[in-house]
Structure 1
C-alpha cells in the first residue's frame, strides 16, 4: 500500500506541475457552468409556462425540476468526460516510455500490480477532483430548494463508475505507445466507439444487437440517470474496469520481459 500511495502522490504532483491539470480543470469548470446555466434556464422557463397554464386552465403538468436538472447536467458531463479523461490518462505510461524512465519504474522495489494500481488511483483521484468541481453548480439546487437526494446520488454513482471504466481504458492505451498525443486520441476513439455501440445496435439484428447494447458504456448509464440503481450495471462497469487493469498489468509485464 505504501508503494501505491507513493506513486499516487508522485503522479498527482506531476499533474499539477504541468499545465494539463489546470487546462482540464478550467475547461471542465467553464463548460460545466455553461451547460448547467442552459439547463437551469430551460427548466425554469418550463416551470414558469406550466404555472401560467395552471392559472389560465386550472391544470398543469408537475415536474421534478431538480431531478431533471441533475439528470440532464450529469448526462452532459458524461460526454465531456469522454474528452477530459483521455487527457488525464494519456501520459501515465506513454510519457514514462518517452523519457526512458519506465525501466527505472519497473526495476524499483515494487510489483507491476502496485505500479498499475498507483497510476490508476492517481488518475481516479484527479477524475474525482473534476467531479467535485461539477458539484459547485449543482449546489445551487440545495441553496434554493430541498431536492430529493436519492436520484442525485444515483446520477453521481453512475458517473463515478463510468469514469472508472474510462480511466481504465485510457490507462491501458497509455501502455501501447510512447506518444501521449496518440495515447489520448486512441483512448478517446475507443471510449467513443463503446459509447456509440448503443446507437449502432438499433440497426443490428440479434444476437449482435444484444451484444452491442451490453458493451455500450452509455446504455448502462441510462438507468443511473433515471435514478435507478441496477446491480447488473454496477457489475458491468466494475468488470470493465478490472479487465482494463488486467490488460494494463499484462502489457507492463510484457515490457519488463522485452526489456
Structure 2
C-alpha cells in the first residue's frame, strides 16, 4: 500500500493534476472568502468552510477521475491486479494519495483563518478544529465516492462526470427533502427522517455548529469504507470476468 501511495502522490505533482486541483480550489476559495467573509463582514470559520465544502464537491472529480480509469485505459490495471499486492492495498494506496493532497490543500486554507482572526477576537480554536474535522471527513467521503466512480469506467471524463453528477444529485436530494416546504405523501412521510439520518450534509452541519459527535465521525468513516469496499468488489469482479 505504501508503494502505491508514494507512486500516486508523485504522479499528482509530476503531472498538472495536483496543481490544477489545488489552484482551482484555492483560487475559487479565495474569491468566496473575500466575497462571503471580508466583503460580507462575516468573520466565521463555519461560513468559510461551508463555502469551501461546495467548492470541493465540484472540484474533487479533478482529483479522482484518473485514479483507476487511467489504469484501465492503458491496461496497466492488469499488471497491478496480477502483482503480489492485494486489491485492498491498491485501492487503499490510491485513496490515501488523494487524501494526502486534500489534507495539504486544506492546510493552505488555514491562511484564511489567520486573516479572519484580524477582524474578530471571537475565534475559538476548539470550534475551528471541529469545523475542520467535519470538513476533512466529508472530503474523504467525496474522494472515496470519486474513486468508486473511477473504477466503473476507463474514461477519465466519464469518471469525472459521474462523480460530479452523483455529488450534485446527493446535494439536490438533501436540499429537497430537508426543505419544510416540500411535503411528502402520508405513506412516504417516514422517508424524511430516514434520509436525514443518511445525509452526509446534515451531519456536517453539526460539525459546523461546533458539536462534536462520535456517531457522526463513525458514519463518515463507515461511508468512506463502504465506497472503498465497493471499489474493491468492482475490480475483483472485473478480474474474474476478464480472467
State the TM-score, normalizing by the size of structure 2: 0.90
Aligned twin of 1:59? none
Within 2, Cα distance between the matches of 1:196 and 1:236? Answer: 20
- 1:32 lines up with 2:29 in the alignment: yes
Larger radius of gyration: 1
State the TM-score, normalizing by the size of structure 1: 0.85
| Cα RMSD after superposing both structures | 1.6
Aligned twin of 2:91? 116
Runs of 4+ in 1 over 6 A off after TM superposition: none
Q: How many residues align?
A: 234
Aligned twin of 1:9? 6
- 1:175 lines up with 2:151 in the alignment: yes
125, 142, 153: which one pairs with 1:166?
142
CA contact (8 A) 2:72 2:154 kept: yes
181, 193, 202: which one pairs with 1:210?
193
Within 2, Cα distance between the matches of 1:129 and 1:188? Answer: 22
- The 5 Å alignment of 1:86-165 reads 86-142=61-117, 147-165=123-141
Following TM superposition, by how much is the alpha carbon of 1:231 offset from its aligned partner in structure 2, in angstroms? 2.5
**Relative to structure 2, which stretch is displaced further, 90-99 or 198-207?**
198-207
Runs of 5+ in structure 2 lacking a partner? none
Within 1, Cα distance between the matches of 2:149 and 2:24? Answer: 23
